[in-house]
Amino acid sequence: MRAIVYRETGGPEVLTLEELPEPEPGPGEVRVRVSFSGVNPTDWKSRRGEGPGRALPFEFVVPNQDGSGVIDRVGPGVDTDRFGENVWLWDTAWQRPYGTAQEYVTIPEVQAVRLPPGIGLDVGACIGIPYRTAHRCLTVAEDGPDRLRPAALAGRTVLIAGGAGAVGNAAIQLARWAGAQVVTTVSSPEKADLARAAGAHHVVNYRSEDAEQAIRSAAPNGVDIIVEVAAAQNVGLDAAVIAPFGVIAVYANNGGNEVSVPIRPMMTPNARWQFVLVYTEPEGAKMLAIDSVTEALADEAIRIGSDAGLPVHHFPLRRAAEAHAAVESGIVGKVLIDL
């Protein structure tokens, strides 16, 4: 089968197209014929590692955590009714050498989640990292909820930093589905249009207006949940707009790897900081996210494409290096590798 592999850390140029043996599913596993492989920042960061030319924990790595496809074989102990299911995949390459940038992948069956009828495989490949990250960020407030469903966030205001990004888009759509009032920040008019298309109620361009004033105008009592992509840059703003008992959920280190938190402004509202990495979140939280996201898919609350605020960019497998380079350069939207 065709697969993209890298044998040392480095830039996109370390990715090569090779032929690998077709895998067979073991006990409790399914084999998926991959349709789309989703590329996320975590994938190029893993490929680069701590510097070029470093050794890997495996002989080689097939990149990309997310993807979608059709189950074409099942291993011992797996219900044969799963044969032929359309599925979305999560954490495929976490602590394993085999991600989704290959024609077939074997994976524990729990990590191949059935897509509801009528939901396209291209949508499925956009789910894993962005939507699970967004779900975790939206469910770490002091008084819950611990999972999302319609009305779960009713009466709450959510601030999403970077509403035109993949996680930002996912957070807007999930928060809207769960009944929240959604405010988001962006850096350009073009990104503002995408955030509105995703469903944000209020969009703030922090480069052309006073962000604190605009957010306070939309949320006079402050925001209950902040989905934060750039804590080092936004800590002052977050402290200024957080509501009593609010939470700042940090899922990335864009703009800096260290943050100085103003203590007293955080103490007064009894606010909390929560750091989020979906790979190591509690197992129960993972399962609740998968259930919630699948329910949102069934409700047709998750959309992709420019009219949903998430432009999708397609690359063939042989151009996987270009796909990685596009994500690494900060392309707006979602990058998929078509198999």
Average pLDDT, the chain: 97
Report the pLDDT averaged over residues 122-139: 98
Report the pLDDT averaged over residues 69-81: 98
Give the residue extent of every domain in the chain.
Answer: 2-126+310-338, 130-279
pLDDT in tens, 304-321: 999 999 999 999 999 999
Report the pLDDT averaged over residues 166-172: 98
Asked if pLDDT for residue 93 goes beyond 90, the answer is yes
pLDDT at 181: 98
Q: SS3 sequence, the chain?
A: CEEEEECCCCCHHHCEEEECCCCCCCCCEEEEEEEEEEECHHHHHHHHCCCCCCCCCCCCEECCCEEEEEEEEECCCCCHHHCCCEEEECCCCCCCCECCCECEEEEEHHHEEECCCCCCHHHHCCCHHHHHHHHHHHCCCCCCCCCCCCCCCCCCEEEEECCCCHHHHHHHHHHHHCCCEEEEEECCHHHHHHHHHHCCCEEEECCCCCHHHHHHHHCCCCEEEEEECEHHHHHHHHHHHEEEEEEEEECCECCCCCCCCCHHHHHCCCCEEEECCHHHCCHHHHHHHHHHHHHHHHCCCCCCEHHHCECEEEEEHHHHHHHHHHHHCCCCCEEEEEC
Percent of the chain with pLDDT over 70: 100
* CA distance linking residue 181 with residue 179, whole number of Å: 7
Asked if pLDDT for residue 214 goes beyond 90, the answer is yes
pLDDT at 255: 86
Asked if pLDDT for residue 186 goes beyond 90, the answer is yes
Asked if pLDDT for residue 42 goes beyond 90, the answer is yes
Task: Give me the architecture of the 130-279 domain, per CATH.
Answer: 3-Layer(aba) Sandwich (3.40)
Report the pLDDT averaged over residues 181-189: 98
Domain 2-126+310-338 falls in which CATH fold?
Quinone Oxidoreductase; Chain A, domain 1 (3.90.180)
Report the pLDDT averaged over residues 86-91: 98
Asked if pLDDT for residue 144 goes beyond 90, the answer is no
Report the pLDDT averaged over residues 150-165: 97
